[in-house]
Structure 1
Amino acid sequence: MLESAVSSPGPAARCARVLRSPWARLVLLVVLLAAAGAAVLAFRPERLLADGWPARQTGVVAVAVFAGAYGLCTAAFVPRPILNLAAGALFGAPLGTVTAVVGTVLGSAISFGLGRLLGQDALRPLLRGRWLRAADRQLSRHGFRSMLALRLLPGVPFAAVNYCAAVSRMGWLPFLLATAAGSVPSTGAYVIAGSHAATPTSPAFVAAMLFIGVTGLGAVAVAWRKRSRFGWRVRAARAGGESGGADA
Structure 2
Amino acid sequence: MPALLRSPWLRLALLLVVLAAAAGSLLLWDPAQVLAAASGPYRMPVALAAYAFGTIAFLPRPALNAAMGLLFGAVWGVPLAVAGSALGAIGAFALGRALGRDALRPLLRAKVLSAIDRRLTEQGFRSVLLLRLFPGAPFQAGNFACAFSGVRFWPYLAATVLGVVPTTTAYVVAGASAGTPGSPAFLISTGVILAMCVFSAVSLWRVRVRSKTNAAPAEAAPVAVPTA
Q: Same fold (TM over 0.5)?
A: yes
1:57 aligns with 2:39: yes
TM-score by length of 1: 0.87
2:49 corresponds to: 68
1:169 corresponds to: 150
- Residues 154 and 246 of structure 1: CA distance in aligned 2, closer, same or farther (over 3 Å): farther
1:10 corresponds to: none
Deviations 1:17-70 (A, max 9, x none): 01110001001001100110111222122446xxx622x6135x2112101211
1:142 aligns with 2:123: yes
Aligned match of 1:87 in 36, 46, 68? 68
Contact 2:31–2:51 (8 Å) recurs in 1? no
Q: Aligned pair count?
A: 227
Mapped to 1, the partners of 2:195 and 2:106 lie a distance apart of 39
- Shift of residue 244, structure 1, vs aligned partner: 5.0
Letter in 2 for 1:243: P
1:24 corresponds to: 10
1:42 aligns with 2:42: no
Mapped to 1, the partners of 2:110 and 2:196 lie a distance apart of 31
Letter in 1 for 2:195: V
Letter in 1 for 2:64: L
Contact 2:51–2:85 (8 Å) recurs in 1? yes
- Residues 247 and 103 of structure 1: CA distance in aligned 2, closer, same or farther (over 3 Å): farther
Mapped to 1, the partners of 2:70 and 2:226 lie a distance apart of 67
SS in 2 for 1:147: helix
Mapped to 1, the partners of 2:186 and 2:14 lie a distance apart of 43
- Residues 195 and 24 of structure 1: CA distance in aligned 2, closer, same or farther (over 3 Å): same
- Which ranges in structure 1 are unaligned for 5 or more consecutive residues? 1-14
Aligned match of 1:243 in 203, 216, 222? 222
Mapped to 2, the partners of 1:63 and 1:110 lie a distance apart of 18
Aligned match of 1:183 in 160, 164, 184? 164
Contact 1:46–1:82 (8 Å) recurs in 2? no
Aligned match of 2:101 in 110, 114, 120? 120
Deviations 1:49-94 (A, max 9, x none): xxx622x6135x2112101211111111111111111100111101
Letter in 1 for 2:2: A
1:33 corresponds to: 19
Aligned match of 1:207 in 176, 179, 188? 188
Q: Which has the larger radius of gyration?
A: 1
